[in-house]
Amino acid sequence: MTANVSALDQYVEQYVQESMQELARLCNQPSVSAQGRGIHECASLVADLLRSRSVAVQMMETAGHPVVFGEYRTGDRTLLLYNHYDVQPPEPLELWNFPPFEGKQRDGKFFARGALDDKGELISRLAAFDAVRAVYGELPFSPGTWTGS
């Protein structure tokens, strides 16, 4: 199977607004670890995002915050992704031009607490997961089956 980068790009372009909506939904959910604010709610939201992609999810309670473990099996290979869903406190609030948990798009960019660390990375990985599955039908994990640039 040769990577069809054009088809992947077309898929991403077609669904970019849905990904942005997911990013806004995730960033709008406070998850301030240091304050214990919204952590369980955000963990549940991450679990829902994974489940919506047919990923088997386990919520693991710890002495600290819950761990969301998702597993998507295909063949005999494993793809491991790691993200965190908590953010740093947004204070001082007066330095924000808008509430930090009300994501805003401006000049083609998205601003919110966690948009770059690490909620944006999580959504971009899910978007890539969606695109590869849509274009190829399955994740190309077999050795030598996916050659792309």
Selection from 116, 99, 89, 101 nearest residue 45 by Cα: 101
Report pLDDT for 111.
Answer: 95
Alpha carbon distance 9, 132 (integer Å): 10
- Cα 129 to Cα 127: distance, rounded to the nearest angstrom: 5
Tokens 């304050």 found at: 35
Question: What ranges do the domains of the chain cover?
Answer: 5-136
Q: Which CATH architecture has domain 5-136?
A: 3-Layer(aba) Sandwich (3.40)
27-80 per-position pLDDT tens digit: 999 999 999 999 999 999 999 999 999 999 999 999 999 999 999 888 777 778
